[in-house]
């Protein structure tokens, strides 16, 4: 049946469609960047133009489905289904399947050069590890699933959203500008470059033993095996083998001492990770709160390579909306500028992430946030609220985006991922 819609050239139509077919339609339309009504319109038009009826589609369990079509198309479609002696439900299912077959899922976009994101700040406790994990999880999510993403570009909206929480940390109607989008489907390696092993522990892995091999050994030129053998998979259906972790080892506390004896020590991390790069689209390095030689090596690893576009790799700076983060930011950017000048390399800033934000802390929080926004270059690319879901995920040693996939923090991580893509 059909009823008039608000648009003068379209009408609302109501029929039935199998749940799985409807889900495929939603995902494929999002992947193709068109709305569902346009996809259905195209499918019906193609179905009506066929010389013969296509194979039947299983419509068992079909339930209500509605969309808007150009005025008159549904009546024409109804007449042709009568002529072909098929039901409206079967005709619609065939039309949708016809459109799906003609518009296969696009290939996942993969970079020509593995992207390298260095998550850093000299100050500890700002949440670099949480941002590293959340960003990696968001980049690795399934390209054939729809996931809630914050799409608002207005920072004020994001601020208001961070202050609105339901009982389970989920999404409240009207709190956020949300769009359901396919995951990026990237192959991601998280590198725990911090001797405190926070990233390793949070994701439920074990730190590497002091008696064995480690990233530190490879950087110091004393490997005990293949670095690939140290990599572990973050096992979760949401990531389907796309998210891996290179665990930390406590021997990294001695990394600066060992690097002091290494030739071209700024390139030590790059030399160590180079054999792994062909396996991944993105490598994200969780840096320690340090301005030593290890940070030089991390910043150099994120430098812009030949034939790499600006902003593809570089430093992602995590801060809080308070004064000590600003002091640490100045120290870090000074170190990066010195490295740029000394080695004549381009190290891009991918942006600033304001983490653990809570406006209830008053003027210091809100004014500090405004100060970060006012910097402009690098600009604020993420705002993550100080909510309970991240702490709970750490406690149970599960990825945040698996533990609370619809929480505001998860939605914010997906927004961040799309900002840095």
On whether residue 138 sits in a domain, the answer given is yes
pLDDT band, very low/low/confident/very high, at 2 (cuts 50, 70, 90)? very low
- Residue 249: its pLDDT value, please? 96
On whether residue 110 sits in a domain, the answer given is no
Would the pTM of this model clear 0.75, i.e. be above it? yes
Measured distance CA(189)–CA(227) in Å, rounded: 13
Looking at the fold, whether 74 and 143 belong to one and the same domain comes out as: no
Looking at the fold, whether 129 and 12 belong to one and the same domain comes out as: no
Residue 151 has pLDDT above 80, yes or no: no
Looking at the fold, whether 97 and 120 belong to one and the same domain comes out as: no
Looking at the fold, whether 52 and 145 belong to one and the same domain comes out as: no
On whether residue 248 sits in a domain, the answer given is yes
> Mind listing the pLDDT tens digit for each residue in 99-141?
999 999 999 999 999 999 999 998 888 999 999 999 999 999 9
On whether residue 108 sits in a domain, the answer given is no
Looking at the fold, whether 358 and 290 belong to one and the same domain comes out as: yes
Looking at the fold, whether 202 and 326 belong to one and the same domain comes out as: yes
List the domain range (segments joined by +) for residue 7.
Answer: 2-102
Instruction: Pick the range with the lowest mean pLDDT from 159-168, 201-210, 385-394, 400-409.
Output: 159-168
Looking at the fold, whether 181 and 303 belong to one and the same domain comes out as: yes
Looking at the fold, whether 13 and 147 belong to one and the same domain comes out as: no
> Mind listing the pLDDT tens digit for each residue in 254-306?
999 999 999 999 999 999 999 999 999 999 999 998 889 999 999 999 999 99
On whether residue 244 sits in a domain, the answer given is yes
> Mind listing the pLDDT tens digit for each residue in 336-379?
999 999 999 999 999 999 999 988 888 888 898 999 999 999 99
Looking at the fold, whether 88 and 218 belong to one and the same domain comes out as: no
Looking at the fold, whether 231 and 165 belong to one and the same domain comes out as: yes
User: According to the 3-state scheme, what is the secondary structure of the chain?
Assistant: CEEECCCCCEEEEEEEECHHHHHHHHHHHHHHCCCHHHHHHHHHHHHHHCCCCCCCCCCCCCEEEEEEEECCHHHHHHHHHHHHCCCHHHHHHHHHHHHHHHCCCCCCCCCCCCEEEEEECCCCCCCHHHHHHHHHHHHHCCCCCEEEEECCCCHHHHHHHHCCCCCCCCCCCCCCCEEEEECCCCCEEEEECCCCCHHHHHCCCCCECCCCCCHHHHHCCCCCCCHHHHCEECCCCCCCCCEEEECCEHHHHHHHHHHCCCCCHHHHHHHHHHHHHHHCCEEEEECCCCCCHHHHHHHHHCCCCCCCCCCCCEEEEEECCCHHHHHHHHHHHHHHHHHHHHHCCCCCEEEEEEEEECHHHCHHHHHHHHHHHHHCCCCEEEEEECCHHHHHHHHHCCCHHHHCCCCHHHHHHHHHHHHHC
Structurally, the chain folds into a number of domains equal to 2
Residue 95 has pLDDT above 80, yes or no: yes
Residue 37 has pLDDT above 90, yes or no: yes
pLDDT band, very low/low/confident/very high, at 226 (cuts 50, 70, 90)? very high
Looking at the fold, whether 69 and 161 belong to one and the same domain comes out as: no
Residue 5 has pLDDT above 60, yes or no: no
CATH number at residue 216: 3.40.50.300
Q: Span 83-98, mean pLDDT?
A: 96
């Amino acid at each position: 049946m059909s009823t008039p819609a608000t648009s003068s050239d379209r009408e609302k139509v109501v029929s039935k469609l199998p749940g799985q077919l409807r889900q495929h339609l939603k995902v494929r339309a999002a992947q193709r960047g068109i709305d569902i009504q346009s996809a259905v319109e195209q499918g019906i038009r193609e179905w009506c133009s066929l010389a013969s009826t296509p194979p039947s589609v299983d419509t068992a369990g079909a339930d209500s489905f509605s969309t808007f079509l150009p005025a008159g198309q549904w009546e024409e479609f109804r007449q042709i289904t009568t002529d072909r002696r098929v039901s409206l439900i079967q005709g619609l299912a065939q039309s949708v399947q016809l459109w799906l077959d003609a518009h296969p899922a696009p290939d996942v976009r993969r970079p020509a050069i593995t992207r390298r994101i260095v998550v850093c700040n000299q100050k500890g406790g700002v949440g670099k590890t949480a941002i590293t994990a959340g960003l990696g999880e968001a980049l690795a999510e399934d390209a054939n699933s729809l996931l809630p993403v914050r799409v608002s570009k207005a920072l004020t909206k994001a601020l208001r959203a961070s202050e609105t929480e339901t009982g389970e940390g989920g999404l409240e109607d009207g709190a956020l500008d949300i769009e359901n989008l396919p995951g990026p489907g990237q192959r991601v390696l998280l590198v725990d470059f911090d001797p405190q092993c926070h990233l390793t522990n949070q994701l439920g892995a074990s730190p590497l033993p002091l008696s064995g091999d480690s990233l530190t050994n490879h950087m110091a030129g004393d490997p005990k095996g293949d670095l690939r053998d140290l990599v572990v998979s973050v096992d979760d259906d949401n990531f389907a083998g796309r998210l891996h972790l290179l665990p930390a080892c406590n021997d990294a506390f001695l990394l600066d001492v060992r690097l002091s004896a290494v030739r071209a020590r700024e390139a030590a991390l790059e030399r160590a990770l180079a054999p792994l790069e062909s396996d991944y689209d993105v490598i994200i390095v969780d840096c320690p709160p340090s301005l030593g030689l290890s940070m030089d090596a991390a910043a150099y690893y994120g430098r812009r390579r030949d034939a790499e576009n600006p902003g593809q790799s570089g430093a992602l700076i995590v801060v809080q909306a308070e004064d000590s983060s600003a002091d640490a930011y100045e120290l870090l950017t000074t170190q990066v500028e010195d490295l740029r000048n000394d080695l004549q390399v381009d190290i891009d800033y991918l942006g600033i992430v304001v983490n653990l934000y809570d406006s209830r802390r008053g003027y210091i929080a809100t004014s500090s946030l405004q100060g970060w926004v006012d910097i402009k270059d690098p600009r604020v690319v993420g705002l993550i609220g100080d909510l309970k879901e991240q702490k709970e995920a750490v406690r149970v040693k599960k990825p945040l985006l698996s533990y609370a996939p619809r929480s505001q923090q998860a939605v914010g991580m997906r927004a961040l991922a799309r900002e840095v893509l």
